A and B are shown apart, each in its own frame.
Chain A
């Protein structure tokens, strides 16, 4: 079984959607549960991709192709996945670039990586107001609100969003995760964010840590 999983992970890493689909179908036909294929094949492949991206062995195009290949595998598995054990099992994240900021490449990459790790991602886009973050967090019952910002003029708005979440009574119920080229751990600490992701791969790790914290508390 591990050979099959490794094969799937490898095809994900190589961004070969067709090969992923064929191998996933073949693995299902062997009687292996869909949930296992999802975790140990598809998500495992994206985890490797995240590491390679972090180490600058691969770049954005390879990450996007890997995510597409992974999604192709998820499409095959979807009818076989029961209840919560499908995409979104890791948690729900509301994601957006904060108000005043129009940069989205980093945010889009974070969305890809989070989905690749099994998170359900509500991507609100760019120039997102605090009200919109709060509304989506409530409506989609998110565990995490993730904010991206490139401009140092706009990242202070992340504090506004954190305060809005607090005012809405979500303090403690929803964790906040921030990132962006000029964001630092120091800034995250100053504004009271629960987590800081240095890059898209680290964003996933931090999101997973935050979910664990929430479950533990």
Chain B
């Protein structure tokens, strides 16, 4: 069943993508290499990681092309590889994607630049840049476009470009931080405004991913971190009519004796997932720090939830 159908005509809960941008370090990627350049020179590992993610229960995979935008690629002297990075990442992902699973072409912001007047980019330049990237992803065979970033204004342009180039679904996520006034994007937008803007631009699913969803004085307990994600889902849901997606990090990253620890255990994520569904999320998962085991347990928790719902007459 195609993704539109599943979102509109079923109650299916879908699991997000395994976050290769952080997980590839477990597969041998060094910290410094450009993400897409590494992926495009390590086809076997890339495809193996994706296969394993589907086995673990992910419904999506991501092309991990956040650094393959014209603007980001230029910082690394890789501007000339934009087409190749996006096309190959999509094509190779599609080759290993089973039916009923979906390849998301990942598009991020115009970082390090901004739209004028804050930055130097004109709307035309942003449109042209996204056209180049999204065309290559489409050529590679993605099933949808995923727009994730900190800059709402360019996310809107990316959604417009995606919709002008294809009839595929678009999922759009903002990154939120919990501040003194509640959740805000880096640019200062609250969740309802930010999500509504993406919906109005044409996104078929809106949501939140990554981010620091707590303040430094809050508890470092992952459960409370995930509760913030639950309240964020409710807030986004209150302002939008399209399905909602949530994908926080596996807790707030800690530096423990020089190592990065994302403290949320697979069991803690599996506990939180159903709460996000109850709060109204249709697509759930974890961003940085989320392992295959996290996704395995989350998948089992959602399936158990589905069985409970069916047996009590609530299921689809």
Query: A residues touching B (Cβ–Cβ < 8 Å)?
Result: 55-56, 58-62, 64-65, 68, 99-102, 104-105, 108, 125-127, 151-156, 181-182, 184, 187, 198
A2 to B112, CA, bound (A): 38
Q: Are A56 and B184 in contact (CB under 8 A)?
A: yes
Give the shortest distance, in Å, between B250 (CB) and chain A (any CB): 13
The verdict on A61 contacting B118 (CB below 8 Å), with A152-B253, A152-B255 known, is yes
Q: Are A56 and B180 in contact (CB under 8 A)?
A: yes
The verdict on A99 contacting B32 (CB below 8 Å), with A59-B188, A151-B260 known, is yes
Q: Does B313 contact A (CB under 8 A)?
A: no
The number of residues on chain B lying at the interface, defined by a beta carbon within 8 Å of a beta carbon of chain A, is 29
Total A-B pairs in contact (CB under 8 Å)?
Answer: 65
- Taken residue by residue from 16 to 31, chain B's Cβ proximity to chain A (1 for < 8 Å, 0 otherwise) reads as 0000000001000011
Instruction: Tell me the nearest residue of chain A to B25, going by C-beta.
Output: A153
Q: Are B186 and A60 in contact (CB under 8 A)?
A: yes
Instruction: Tell me the nearest residue of chain A to B212, going by C-beta.
Output: A181
Q: Are B114 and A64 in contact (CB under 8 A)?
A: yes
Neighbouring A residues of B260 by C-beta, 8 Å: 151-153
Q: Does B96 contact A (CB under 8 A)?
A: no
A-B contact pairs, 14 of them (CB 8 A): A55-B180, A56-B184, A59-B186, A61-B187, A62-B188, A64-B114, A101-B31, A125-B75, A127-B32, A152-B260, A152-B261, A153-B25, A153-B259, A156-B258
Neighbouring B residues of A156 by C-beta, 8 Å: 255, 258
Neighbouring B residues of A59 by C-beta, 8 Å: 184, 186-188
Interface of A is mostly: loop
Q: Are A182 and B186 in contact (CB under 8 A)?
A: no
Q: Does B117 contact A (CB under 8 A)?
A: yes
A56 to B261, CA, bound (A): 28
Query: B residues touching A (Cβ–Cβ < 8 Å)?
Result: 25, 30-32, 67, 75, 111-112, 114, 117-119, 150, 179-181, 184, 186-188, 212, 216, 253-255, 258-261
A141 to B161, CA, bound (A): 48
Q: Are A65 and B117 in contact (CB under 8 A)?
A: yes
Q: Are A104 and B112 in contact (CB under 8 A)?
A: yes
Partner of B255, one of A56, A125, A127, A187: A187
Give the shortest distance, in Å, between B20 (CB) and chain A (any CB): 15
A182 to B259, CA, bound (A): 12
Give the shortest distance, in Å, between A76 (CB) and chain B (any CB): 19
Neighbouring A residues of B187 by C-beta, 8 Å: 59-61
Instruction: Tell me the nearest residue of chain B to A17, going by C-beta.
Output: B117
Q: Are A58 and B188 in contact (CB under 8 A)?
A: yes
A149 to B118, CA, bound (A): 23
Q: Are B188 and A105 in contact (CB under 8 A)?
A: no
Neighbouring A residues of B261 by C-beta, 8 Å: 152
Interface centre among B25, B114, B117 (most CB of A within 10 A): B117
Instruction: Tell me the nearest residue of chain A to B75, going by C-beta.
Output: A126
Give the shortest distance, in Å, between B291 (CB) and chain A (any CB): 15
Q: Are A153 and B31 in contact (CB under 8 A)?
A: yes
A142 to B193, CA, bound (A): 43
Neighbouring B residues of A61 by C-beta, 8 Å: 114, 118, 187-188
Neighbouring B residues of A152 by C-beta, 8 Å: 253-255, 259-261
Give the shortest distance, in Å, between B176 (CB) and chain A (any CB): 12
Q: Are B255 and A182 in contact (CB under 8 A)?
A: yes
Neighbouring B residues of A181 by C-beta, 8 Å: 212
Neighbouring A residues of B253 by C-beta, 8 Å: 151-152, 182
Give the shortest distance, in Å, between B222 (CB) and chain A (any CB): 15
Instruction: Tell me the nearest residue of chain B to A58, going by C-beta.
Output: B188
Q: Are B186 and A100 in contact (CB under 8 A)?
A: no
Neighbouring B residues of A104 by C-beta, 8 Å: 111-112
Neighbouring A residues of B67 by C-beta, 8 Å: 102
Extra contacts, 14 of them, besides A61-B114, A61-B188 (Cβ < 8 A), are: A56-B180, A59-B186, A60-B187, A60-B188, A62-B188, A64-B119, A99-B32, A105-B112, A152-B254, A152-B261, A154-B31, A155-B255, A181-B212, A182-B254
Q: Are A65 and B118 in contact (CB under 8 A)?
A: yes
A60 to B175, CA, bound (A): 14
The verdict on A56 contacting B186 (CB below 8 Å), with A108-B112, A127-B32, A155-B255 known, is no
A104 to B75, CA, bound (A): 11
Neighbouring B residues of A102 by C-beta, 8 Å: 67
Instruction: Tell me the nearest residue of chain A to B260, going by C-beta.
Output: A152
Neighbouring B residues of A127 by C-beta, 8 Å: 32
